[in-house]
Amino acid sequence: MEKAIVNKLKKSSTIISGPDGNPLAVLSLSERNRLCRHFRLSPREVELHSLEAGIVPLRYLKNIGTLSIEGQRRLLSSKVAVVGLGGLGGLLVELLARVGVGGMLIIDGDRFVEDNLNRQILLQEKDIDLIKARLAEKRVRDINSAIEVEKWEGFVTEENAQHLLSSVNLVCDALDNISSRLLLQSTCEQLNIPLVHGAVAGFSGQVTSIFPGDASLSVIYGDEGITIQRGVEVQEGNLPGTVGMVASLQAQEVIKILSGKGAALRKKLLVIDTERGEIRHINL
């Protein structure tokens, strides 16, 4: 069957001028869907076969010059958990779906409330009081039908953390309280998977990637963070521009780690101050 799929892919593809000016075979969305029906395969399976054959799904064409075909294949083969679906998490799932991270586990037990409207991209006025995880799941499916998305309409706890996260390659921390962040990082350490951390308060934000064996988030928050529920963001709020910057930086960390392109923000904290227009690194 493998050979039959490759032959069909070649016949269904179109040759265009690639990012480097050389001929490149691409597969349109309509042809992908036709092959899904023909071979009774999922969109993700067809796209993976396509990339393995050196044929780029047209939707990812603008990624290839930076990531390469192999980098795109790695993204599509990966599964990421986004924990927290508010300002950071909502934009993260949007960006990861568009870039083509093939598997996504989205986790949040909250509903949307009115004061989320200033920064949470998933929310429109008509959707106030809807469950965040359900709206996020629909958004991912609407953007990219190749993404295999699972949702958990609840919170990560000491009792369920390892079970929930055991199937993913990487976790994104988009939470809004310190104790849950520390639990998430501890779980990632136990599961031997990286964590991409992001946090926002007013004009400021921070991002880092923590790999197994690295210094934990307690270096940033202190051991007392275990008992603290909320940080400075309670007083300073969350401005949409800062949220967008931090979520985008987190998405870039995910892309770099999974694709093997670029250097992750490992053992250093990137801190942005948009009020002063400053960006700095702090070694951890």
pTM, full prediction: 0.95
pLDDT, one tens digit per residue, over 20-35 is 999 999 999 999 999 9
The two three-digit tokens of residue 270, written as one number: 């990137």
The total domain count for the chain is 2
Tell whether 99 and 179 lie within a shared domain. yes
- Give exposure, 15-42, as e/b (b: 16+ Cβ within 10 Å): eeebeeeeebbbbeeebbeebbeeeebe
Tell whether 17 and 112 lie within a shared domain. no
Tell whether 245 and 225 lie within a shared domain. yes
pLDDT at site 237? 82
Q: Count Cβ atoms below 10 Å from residue 135 Cβ, excluding itself.
A: 22
Tell whether 65 and 89 lie within a shared domain. no
pLDDT beyond 60 at 154: yes
CA 74 to chain centre: 14
Tell whether 71 and 83 lie within a shared domain. no
Domain boundary among 75, 101, 134: 75
Domain boundary among 75, 90, 115: 75
Tell whether 104 and 45 lie within a shared domain. no
Tell whether 150 and 68 lie within a shared domain. no
Helices 61-77/43-52 angle, 10° precision: 110
pLDDT, one tens digit per residue, over 188-235 is 999 999 999 999 999 999 999 999 999 889 899 876 555 455 555 656
Report the SS3 class of residue 14. Answer: strand
pLDDT at site 2? 87
Q: Which domain holds residue 99?
A: 78-283
CATH number of residue 126's parent domain:
3.40.50.720
Tell whether 122 and 102 lie within a shared domain. yes
Helix (H) or strand (E) holding 236: helix 233-236
pLDDT, one tens digit per residue, over 237-262 is 899 999 999 999 999 999 999 999 99
pLDDT, one tens digit per residue, over 77-108 is 999 999 999 999 999 999 999 999 999 999 99
Domain boundary among 25, 44, 75: 75
pLDDT beyond 80 at 9: yes
Tell whether 50 and 83 lie within a shared domain. no
